Amino acid sequence: MAQAQATKFKNPVVNWIDSRLPIFTMLDHEYNHYPMPRNVNYLWAFGAIAGIMLMIMIATGLFLAMQYSSHTSLAFDSVERIMRDVNYGWLIRYVHANGASMFFIAVYIHMFRALYYGSYKAPREILWILGVIIFLVMMGTAFMGYVLPWGQMSFWGATVITNLFSAFPIVGDPIVTLLWGGFSVDNPTLNRFFALHFLLPFVLLGLVILHTAALHVCGSNNPLGIDPKGPQDTVPFNPYVTLKDGFAVVIFMIIFAVFVFFMPNYMGHPDNYIPANPLVTPAHIVPEWYFLPFYAMLRAIPDKLGGVLAMFGSIALLAFLPWLDRSKVRSCKFRPVYRQFFWILAIDALILGYAGAMPAEGSWLVIARIGTFYYFFHFLVLLPVLGKLERTRPLPNSISESILKGGGSIAAGAHAKPMEKA
């Protein structure tokens, strides 16, 4: 590697460190000069928002862990002690509990943004696959975190979800025993879930660093889905995008604060304020809202193994998205047919979420089955076929041409974000 220039930074201490460990050069390169397409809209802020949510979760989680007891006879009471007696414990816990939901909201918007603008396509396949892995690890972390307060939904949610693995032939039962640390959900289960819940966020952090590294190789996608052709198409990340993302983060924090301070238990289930009782099953065992679409798929299939495969398959499928979507055009702006199907998929996900919250019987079961079928149909049939058949609109020559002259094929489209005017 080339020697770092001796006079790069004004501060001699920074310079001294940088010539030995070029961390400042790296930060300068990746966060000051990193070229962002100048036409990115506010949907591009959700990556930064998700990153900040991860930091908030790690920070609040650390302080909760200092007060929490991971023993079945103490867990529920120790959480209540945090709520009542620990200084600002109620604030830390409500930020952590609602933060999980807000983290998922940010990540879901981030994912749908990628779907809409084709951000998973070449050369961003590995970036996307890392994102799918982050999503999976996040789900595992959130699930184990929900078990820790040891309320009724904690216990029964843990029982239902860990039992899923028993559907697999031969390896199923040993896996479940290993997860439980015994022959039922009990103290060893709670203990290992606490240990893993503490570990996994740092795994997530590592994955996020890889995700960002992969992003910075090929650069960010943009609403037009075409590559920047030069400096006229981009702005330096700092200060342009830091300020824009910063504004978006503050707006997101306002919504977050509304939940934390004024409706902190809205996204939770009342049953989790009842201590876990292995002898009393709640009337309806429902997971947290962010798992509901997957829970609906699980219950839609009449066969246990089939349901489990459908649920895991629905996420595993996403990793193959870059090869299922055959279209060379990234952005939905130039894909009039796919755009309609994108919105149908989004509605399908919401309907599945609603069906997941309802009892799995009668018309809700039928709706869940249709929704599940459509989900797989979209990815396995529609996407490959559309890529071959769809007549896409002509792409603009460059980002700067299409946004600064105001003309071109996309200006009339309502999805084209007007450039901010002074």
Structure tokens at 77: 């009471």
Closer residue to other proteins (CB): 121 or 269? 269
Q: What angle do the packed helices 187-218 and 172-180 form, to 10 degrees?
A: 100
What's the min distance (Å) between Cβ of 386 and other proteins? 18
Catalytic residue among 211, 244, 269, 378: 244
Closer residue to other proteins (CB): 157 or 201? 157
Task: Check if the beta carbon of residue 157 is closer than 8 Å to that of residue 269.
Answer: no
Name residue 35's beta-bridge partners. 236
Closer residue to other proteins (CB): 180 or 290? 290
Structure tokens at 44: 């591009």
What's the min distance (Å) between Cβ of 134 and other proteins? 23
Catalytic residue among 233, 245, 348, 390: 245
Name the DSSP letter for residue 158.
H
What's the min distance (Å) between Cβ of 284 and other proteins? 8
- To the query of whether residue 29 is one of the catalytic residues in this protein, the response is no
C-beta neighbour count of 420 within 10 angstroms? 7
Catalytic residue among 8, 216, 304, 417: 216
Q: Which residues bind other proteins (CB under 8 A)?
A: 38, 77, 80, 83-85, 90-91, 94, 235, 239-240, 243-244, 246-247, 250-251, 253-254, 257-258, 260-262, 264-267, 269-271, 273-274, 283, 286, 289, 292, 343, 346-347, 350-351, 353-354, 356-358, 404, 414, 419-422
Task: Check if the beta carbon of residue 154 is closer than 8 Å to that of residue 148.
Answer: yes
Structure tokens at 197: 């819940």
For the chain, the first-to-last Cα distance in angstroms comes to: 44
The Cα 72–Cα 362 span in angstroms is: 37
Residue type, 99: G
- To the query of whether residue 388 is one of the catalytic residues in this protein, the response is no
The Cα 363–Cα 348 span in angstroms is: 16
The Cα 392–Cα 415 span in angstroms is: 16
Task: Check if the beta carbon of residue 407 is closer than 8 Å to that of residue 396.
Answer: no
Closer residue to other proteins (CB): 95 or 179? 95
- To the query of whether residue 166 is one of the catalytic residues in this protein, the response is no
What's the min distance (Å) between Cβ of 313 and other proteins? 23
Closer residue to other proteins (CB): 198 or 373? 373
Catalytic residue among 18, 233, 288, 390: 288
What's the min distance (Å) between Cβ of 415 and other proteins? 10
Closer residue to other proteins (CB): 211 or 244? 244
Closest alpha carbon to 39 in 275, 284, 228, 268? 228
What is the DSSP secondary-structure string of 195-243?
HHHHHHHHHHHHHHHHHHHHHHHH----TT-----SGGGEEEIIIIIHH
R_g of the chain computed on alpha carbons: 24
What's the min distance (Å) between Cβ of 329 and other proteins? 21
Structure tokens at 307: 């349901």
- To the query of whether residue 244 is one of the catalytic residues in this protein, the response is yes
- To the query of whether residue 417 is one of the catalytic residues in this protein, the response is no
Catalytic residue among 70, 119, 220, 331: 220
Active site residues: 216, 220, 244-245, 288
